[in-house]
Structure 1
Amino acid sequence: MKLTVLVDNNVYIDHYYLGEPALSFYLEDGNEKILFDTGYSDVFIRNAELLNIDLSQITKLALSHGHNDHTGGLSQITDLFDQKKPQLIAHPLTFFPKKEQDLAIGSPVTIKDLEREYELLLTKEPVKLSPNITFLGEIPQLVDFEPRLQVGETKITDTFVPDYVFDDSALVFEGTDGIYIITGCSHSGISNICEYAKRVTGNQTIKSIIGGFHLFEENIQLEQTIEYFKKNQINTLYPCHCVSFPAKAKIHYQLPIQEVGVGMQIEWQ
């Protein structure tokens, strides 16, 4: 399996791609070409062109959750597919309106729009995207130090209600030596995601994690997360997007982390 970072907050020095505070990964596993999240804008398309990645060949599009730094590019991509309709996989709550005070923070594209362009699969259950990659669906509460936090509000019926981002999901790749976690923002808790990936795959060996860990403060949750990584012997970490510098520094002091930037490619077997 090959993963390419199309969008991240960070761009490497002397690598002339575009960055934005968002996330998009491109995955190739066998015959499947999977886009995981679309960033805020058309930046993922422009970076893909610079990286010689043909997004018109995408077979599946998976979304980590409904916030616009992961779904904003949906309004830019549909013209790429001509007559083909890729499958789009997401949690059922992904496309309900979301706001933070008066600021809209949800997907700019509605379910009705998507039904015309994609084979839409909205699911709370895990779904195989390829022989080795699984979309995890809804992440249950398995770790007591990662309570779900409210992020704005969502409109599921007639009124806006507190949003605890139950649509937040992730991917897991099953390799020959263990499992590899690919996450968007980890509103569900990065350790919760890891525990559920172990339950879904039946594999207890986590080799690596890449994506947003949603860690910002130097607090007890960060300390317990680091202990979880150490207990599970997760020695290769790629925190990006929504991980603050102080949090990265705190993790790196005990477990060396890898720098992530647009254009980075990883291959796992």
Structure 2
Amino acid sequence: MKATVLVDNIGNENTAGEWGLSFFIEYGGRKVLLDAGASGLFAENALKLGISLAETDYAVLSHAHYDHADGMAEFFGQNTKAKLYLRESCKENCYKEEEGGWKYIGIRKGLLEKYADRIIRVSGDLEIEKGMWLIPHKTAGMERAGEREHMYLRDDDSCAVDDFSHEQSLVFDTGDGLAVFNSCSHGGADNIIAEVSDTFPGKKVRLMAGGFHLYNKSEEYIRNFAEKVRATGVEQVWTGHCTGEEAYQILREELGGMVRQLKSGAEIHFG
């Protein structure tokens, strides 16, 4: 399995960065796009990296936030065959409560309707192809994460704390163990590793990749989180985006070389 970061907060000399995340993953002869960042930048970077989005077989949306979904219109323009897999509960209704009022942080309005014929809504566990799975949250009390982050689901006649039922993990079963991708891990990377481990008894999660939403957390919280991750037994951690630079450095202090940094153009080889 090979995963290329098409866009992350941090760029490099050849590929630019933005607040968002997108992976291009090659596995078992198939090509998968996980998220598309906040704009068309992921596609510009893909071109520079020699990656053809037109050859993508599947697209996956990790959760219903703009910084992962808003590049999808560009993807659909370049690719005419791949379906986009997202959770059944995905809507254009994600908001964050701030001092000045409500800030919309969801999928660009109208995108889900415009591309409805390209979308497959998923409930429960789904094996897209042999060894390639979509796994939802199974941990109770996920609404606590929504409360902590002041994130809500708002419609014309309702408002509820976000329970991240629209978030999912993309899991690859390789010959060397399980590789888990969850782009923001709002439900907690430690919880996600446990969820996946419980879903696949007898198989070990060896790699966890994605943002961990630690950019706004205290040092104490981050160090405690690092201990929880260590306790899972995971061997490789690739993180960036909403983890934040300060949190990344603390994770490196606590977990050492098992932690590596995502950035535009980076490659992950596993299995």
Q: Given the two structures, how large is their TM-score scaled by the length of structure 1?
A: 0.88
The DSSP-based 3-state class of the residue aligned with 1:3 is strand
* Structure 1 residue 159 displacement after superposition: 3.1
Unaligned runs of 5+ in 2: none
Whether 2:265 is the aligned partner of 1:263: answer yes
Q: Which residue of 1 aligns with 2:45?
A: 47
Residue identity in the other structure for 2:135: L
Residue identity in the other structure for 1:44: F
Q: Which has the higher helix share?
A: 2
Q: Which has the higher strand share?
A: 2
Q: Which residue of 2 aligns with 1:218?
A: 218
Whether 2:149 is the aligned partner of 1:148: answer no
* Structure 1 residue 242 displacement after superposition: 0.7
Kept after mapping to 2: 8 A contact 1:5/1:24: yes
* Structure 1 residue 156 displacement after superposition: 4.8
* Structure 1 residue 146 displacement after superposition: 10
* Structure 1 residue 220 displacement after superposition: 5.0
Q: Which residue of 1 aligns with 2:193?
A: 194
Q: Given the two structures, how large is their TM-score scaled by the length of structure 2?
A: 0.88
Kept after mapping to 2: 8 A contact 1:180/1:207: yes
Unaligned runs of 5+ in 1: none
* Structure 1 residue 204 displacement after superposition: 4.6
Distance 1:146 1:161 in 2: 9
Kept after mapping to 1: 8 A contact 2:143/2:162: no
Distance 2:168 2:156 in 1: 22
Q: Which residue of 1 aligns with 2:89?
A: 93
After the TM superposition, which of the residue ranges 145-154 and 226-235 deviates more from structure 2? 145-154
Residue identity in the other structure for 2:130: P
* Structure 1 residue 221 displacement after superposition: 4.1
Q: Which residue of 2 aligns with 1:113?
A: 114
After the TM superposition, which of the residue ranges 188-197 and 245-254 deviates more from structure 2? 245-254
The DSSP-based 3-state class of the residue aligned with 1:88 is strand
* Structure 1 residue 68 displacement after superposition: 0.1
Residue identity in the other structure for 1:56: A
Distance 2:248 2:77 in 1: 38
Distance 2:102 2:4 in 1: 35
Kept after mapping to 1: 8 A contact 2:20/2:68: yes
1:46-80 per-position Cα deviation (integer Å, ceiling 9, x unaligned) = 00100111101111110110000010112222221
In structure 2, relative to structure 1, the CA distance for the partners of 1:226 and 1:102 (3 Å cut) is closer
Kept after mapping to 1: 8 A contact 2:6/2:265: yes
Residue identity in the other structure for 2:146: L
User: Aligned residues, how many?
Assistant: 261
Residue identity in the other structure for 1:172: V
1:129-151 per-position Cα deviation (integer Å, ceiling 9, x unaligned) = 332221113x0226x89942234
Kept after mapping to 1: 8 A contact 2:143/2:164: no
The DSSP-based 3-state class of the residue aligned with 1:149 is helix
Residue identity in the other structure for 2:125: P
Q: Which residue of 1 aligns with 2:22?
A: 24
